[in-house]
Amino acid sequence: MTQHTSVRTAKFLRSTIALAIVVATFFGVIGLAGSAGAQAAQSWSITPAGGSPDQPGNRPDLSFTVDPGTTITDTIQVWNYGADPIDLKVYAADALITAEGSYDLDPSYKAPVDVASWTKLSSDKVSLAPNSVTAVTVTIAVPKDALPGDHPGGIVASIATPESNGEGAQVLVEKRVGTRLNVRVTGDIVPSAEIKNVFASYSGSLNPIAPGTVNVKYTLVNTGNTRLGGTVRLELSGIAGSKSIDMPEVPVTMPGNTLEQSFTVADVWPTGIISAKVIFTPKDDPGIPELQSLASASGSGSTIAIPFGQLLSIIVIVGLVVLYRRRRQAKIDRLVAAAMAAPQTPPAPPAPPSADLEPEPVA
């Protein structure tokens, strides 16, 4: 039975042709099919159209800000850089941010529910001759009741090829490239974020003079209706004091997305209960002036840092002292016992007075 899988990808970037292989604009994935020597490599890309029909446009994506009820019309270009003809499926898909923070799109078999459901293409399949390009018209009908905020998605050109999986079964692998699509619907833009599920754990060292590490995990939830990026600061506190650490910048998340991250802080001494507070601060975005009103979001967790190395050292020292004292006392007891067990020689009687001694005269 043929199964369907989708090759997901994580990055958007532009590239140029090199050795007849092109890196796609969307996801940074090369569209390849066939085996070496049996079939020429297939490579294709999809871009927003520019002013010239035979040159890619210079727009990085399809981005619009419109009122509810607006209809948008634009054009994309699908390119075949290979030496063979190629048949591609073209479709719109809703976007998502993976738990690791990568921008991705829903697979082709998943029914669209947001901006992709508003998007219609002039053709859902294109057949391209070698080294050719074709244009596809994109029409986006924004509903009158569309919620304000960002609605991210993408336009994809894909091809499904049969391959064998690790178990030898035949599967259809969808290899796809595309370009981003974002429609911002005007209205009340409400940026909002929440830090949840803060979990901290301590890993100590058996070396009593070496500190340990604290591992912190948390989940950032974009609870607003616009894209959101920012920075994270971690504050650790305990009876020995506190320390603040600036963490790497948080990837941009889309409305409703969650981002799970973890990081490790070194040189933390085991001092009992250690509190971990994660603070998210939104990054300014010229396109979202409402971010200035968004306060920082934070969440807290704690862990118990037991000084196992130090306790073990104390136990060893106390044990050695007790062992020394017991051995010393045992030696004394043996000496006393040996002395008590030795045969006792009675003392000699006093010698009688000598007969030659005359009594001293009494005055």
| Cross-strand bridge partners of residue 326 | none
Look at strands 149-164 and 86-97 and give their pairing. Answer: antiparallel
What average pLDDT does this structure show over 206-224?
Answer: 88
What average pLDDT does this structure show over 309-338?
Answer: 79
- pTM here? 0.64
Check if 3-185 and 193-308 are the same fold: yes
Share of the chain above pLDDT 90, in %: 37
The superfamily (CATH) of domain 193-308 is Immunoglobulins (2.60.40.10)
- Give the pLDDT of residue 26: 36
- Give the pLDDT of residue 184: 93
- Mean pLDDT rounded to a whole number for the chain: 80
The superfamily (CATH) of domain 3-185 is Immunoglobulins (2.60.40.10)
**Would you say residue 24 has pLDDT above 50?**
no
- The domain locations on the chain are 3-185, 193-308
**Would you say residue 21 has pLDDT above 50?**
no
What average pLDDT does this structure show over 323-352?
Answer: 78
**Would you say residue 309 has pLDDT above 80?**
no
DSSP, residue by residue, 87-108: EEEEEEEEEEE-TTS-EEE--T
Residue 83 phi, psi dihedral angles, 5° rounding: -90, 0
13-17, 189-193, 213-217, 239-243: least confident range: 13-17
Q: Which helix (H) or strand (E) holds 299?
A: strand 297-305
CA dist., res. 241 & res. 274, Å (int): 10
